[in-house]
Amino acid sequence: MVDTNNEKTYDLSVNLGDFKLDNPVIPASGTFGFGYEFEDYYDLNILGSISLKGTTKDARFGNPTPRIAECKKGLINSIGLQNPGIDAVIEKEIPRLRYSYKKKVIANISGFSIEEYKECCEKIDKVEEVAIIELNISCPNVHNGGMAFGTSPEAAKEVTKVAKEVTTKPVYVKLTPNVTNIVEIAKACEEGGADGICLINTLLGMRIDLKTKKPTIANKMGGFSGPAIFPVALRMVYQVYEAVNIPIIGVGGIETADDVIEMMLAGATAVEVGAANLKNPYACKEIIDDLPIKMKKYGIENLKNIIGMAHQ
Amino acid sequence: MYKRNKYKVKSNKKIAKNVYEMILEGDTTYIVRPGQFINIEIDEFYLRRPISVCDYDSETITVIYKVVGNGTEKMSTLKEGEILDILTGLGNGFSEKASGERPLLIGGGVGTPPMYNLCKKLIEQGKKPIVVLGFGAIDEVFYEDKFKKLGAQVLISTVDGSYGTKGFVTDIIKQLKDYTYYYACGPKNMLKAVYDIAVGDGELSFEEKMGCGFGACMGCTCKTKNGDKRLCKHGPVLKKEEIIW
């Protein structure tokens, strides 16, 4: 973008390995459907990329409703990985998104066993539209799966290794914040061959309805997201940046261009915007429109140059 | 097709116990069918409040809501002239074409509002709707005269018998014959009771806690005979034959 007043050019582009993004803003998995739910609102091609709804081997209905609870500065969700299954995502959802989105996407893959992760990665490996596989080992809303892999360094390393064996696409592992030591998990993923780290998923939380005196969500607990978790996400990105040598996608409570810049200063190469999309469907567009203005304000000409700058 | 726009509060007044009618001025072009809803942002609350459209014309949207929590309580304090950020054109709405000559419109409590624009449209098309409305007590009754002014036959039940037929909407419906189709909106237990006793085909509008209101978060999914449906996007209206209780 060219600022005509003082003839400065603002470069928003970033690189996740070989994947070149026009800007660092990516809608986060689970908050953007399969993308086309937002096509009425704005031209999706302005986005850096799109992280698709978490996908499993088989179709899943997800958890019982109510699945949503409002919080101050955020919400709790307990969707439970509702998705039509890997085959339908490849045959129907990704081609459907193609009508309105021409860039490459990030496929978010989840599973209940190593074999399921493996099978999904094998299948998605053949999909040209997919630039990156985001290995979701951090879903707090399913039992015996998801987060179970993300809370043990050994399991995280193992599932990363298996994914890497069956795909040539870059594998980014999405981590849960519900652990004692995020750094050792991130390091284990790097040792397992991860091409990048994505963090954080939601924080396990709950609400109780004062009228019924019972948990608001049918599944009792769920994943807390929204601006309230931003400082936690920022801290974890900062810690992981110091410990690994692979790119980081920072996610958690990002709502504004200021948040994007702050997350990149902590060490994120790109960011994902989650809960904000649900409250304001234009959130990503507004952030992208505002980024050059904020870059000017903070004296930043090239976003790539600020990645991890807070560590210097 | 749905869009976000700014709307000005034209009026916001109490019309029954804990029930308010709010008229909003702004772009209404994305509302295309009765039974759709809008999603209203309220200061200090993270999620929007989905409220069904009661009526609309080229310049205004009328919504009716019940104060059930802190968000709707805040909404009830909105003053004339205040500006709201709203998503419109959400949900599938009712299909008017299926109505036949003498459709039955059933509203329970704040399930009544979407029946109003539907009733208006059906009467404009020369149909002769019967409107059955159920409330808890006389102080909760609203819009009886408005439906009558449209030219509809209106029958009312109250649980405590303080007005109209004592009991539930189903106590009225079981006496009725010769209706061609039915539309229902209200609490889930009312919908189930209607589903069990109403004759012939119909469609029912459901409620669920929503995250986004436009199909992105999958917070409001339900099982149907036609597969899993997101109530905000593929509903809130479901055809009788596809419902799984």
pLDDT at A50: 98
Please check whether residue A67 touches B, CB under 8 A: yes
**Least confidently predicted of A30-39, A99-108, A133-142, A267-276:** A133-142
How sure is the predictor about A139, in pLDDT bands with cuts at 50, 70 and 90?
A: confident
CB A267 within 8 A of CB A197: no
In a domain, A114, yes or no: yes
| Mean pLDDT across B175-202 | 96
Mean of the per-residue pLDDT values of chain A: 95
**CATH number of the domain bearing residue A261:** 3.20.20.70
| Contact yes or no for A77 and B210 at CB 8 A | no
Flag whether pLDDT at A5 surpasses 80: no
Of A37, A74, A77, the CB nearest to B214: A37
Chain A nearest C-alpha distance from B62 (Å): 22
Q: A79: buried, middle or exposed (CB in 10 Å: 19+, 13-18, 0-12)?
A: buried
pLDDT at A186: 98
Of A61, A68, A279, the CB nearest to B219: A68
| CA-based nearest residue to B111, from B23, B194, B13 | B194
Mean of the per-residue pLDDT values of chain B: 97
Contacts of A277 in chain B (CB under 8 A): 212, 216
Question: Which residue in B has a C-alpha nearest to residue A71's C-alpha?
Answer: B46
Question: Which residue in A has a C-alpha nearest to residue B50's C-alpha?
Answer: A279
| Contact yes or no for B218 and A67 at CB 8 A | yes
Chain A nearest C-alpha distance from B220 (Å): 7
Fold of B96-205: Rossmann fold (3.40.50)
C-alpha B160/C-alpha A243 separation (Å) is: 68
Dihedral (C-alpha) B220, B225, B228, B230: value to the nearest 10 degrees? -40
| CA-based nearest residue to A25, from A221, A217, A229, A283 | A283
| Mean pLDDT across B24-42 | 97
| Mean pLDDT across A160-171 | 98
Q: What ranges do the domains of chain B cover?
A: 3-90, 96-205
**Least confidently predicted of A136-150, A229-243, B147-161, B224-238:** A136-150
How sure is the predictor about B2, in pLDDT bands with cuts at 50, 70 and 90?
A: confident
| CA-based nearest residue to B159, from B99, B108, B90, B228 | B108
pLDDT at B60: 98
Flag whether pLDDT at A147 surpasses 80: no
Flag whether pLDDT at A4 surpasses 60: no
| Mean pLDDT across B66-92 | 97
| Contact yes or no for B212 and A281 at CB 8 A | yes
pLDDT at A1: 55
Give how many domains chain A has, as a whole number.
1
Contacts of B39 in chain A (CB under 8 A): none
In a domain, A299, yes or no: yes
Measured in whole angstroms, the distance separating CA A92 from the mean position of its chain's CA atoms is 22
pLDDT tens for each residue of A47-76: 999 999 999 999 999 999 999 999 999 999
pLDDT tens for each residue of A217-253: 999 999 999 999 999 999 999 999 999 999 999 999 9
| Mean pLDDT across B25-41 | 97
Q: What stretch of H or E contains A119?
A: helix A114-124
How sure is the predictor about B101, in pLDDT bands with cuts at 50, 70 and 90?
A: very high
| Mean pLDDT across B88-115 | 97
CB B112 within 8 A of CB B143: yes
Candidates A50, A52, A58, A70, partner chain B, best to mutate (most B CBs within 10 A): A70
How sure is the predictor about A145, in pLDDT bands with cuts at 50, 70 and 90?
A: low
How sure is the predictor about A120, in pLDDT bands with cuts at 50, 70 and 90?
A: very high
pLDDT at A3: 54
pLDDT at B138: 98
Chain B nearest C-alpha distance from A73 (Å): 6
Q: What stretch of H or E contains B65?
A: strand B60-66
Sheet holding A248-251, edge to edge: A25-27, A270-273, A248-251, A196-199, A171-175, A130-136, A105-109
Residue with tokens 């596989």: A133
Is position A121 annotated as part of the catalytic site? no
Please check whether residue B235 touches A, CB under 8 A: no
Question: Which residue in B has a C-alpha nearest to residue A222's C-alpha?
Answer: B219
Domain B3-90: CATH architecture, name and number where available: Beta Barrel (2.40)
Q: Count other Cβ atoms within 10 Å, centred on residue A165.
A: 11
Flag whether pLDDT at A146 surpasses 90: no
pLDDT tens for each residue of A35-49: 999 998 999 999 999
C-alpha B105/C-alpha B183 separation (Å) is: 5
**Least confidently predicted of A32-46, A143-157, A261-275, B220-234:** A143-157
pLDDT at B102: 97
- Structural domain of A85: 2-62+81-204+228-311
In a domain, A157, yes or no: yes
pLDDT at A40: 87
Question: Which residue in B has a C-alpha nearest to residue A34's C-alpha?
Answer: B216
Instruction: Print burial letters for A128-145: b (CB count within 10 Å at least 16), e (below 16).
Output: ebbbbbbbbbbbbbbeeb
> Is there a shared CATH topology between the B3-90 domain and the B96-205 domain?
no
| Mean pLDDT across A176-191 | 97
Give the 3-state secondary structure of A28-61: CCCCCCCCHHHCCCCCHHHCCCCECCCECCCCEC
C-alpha B52/C-alpha B183 separation (Å) is: 15
pLDDT at A140: 76
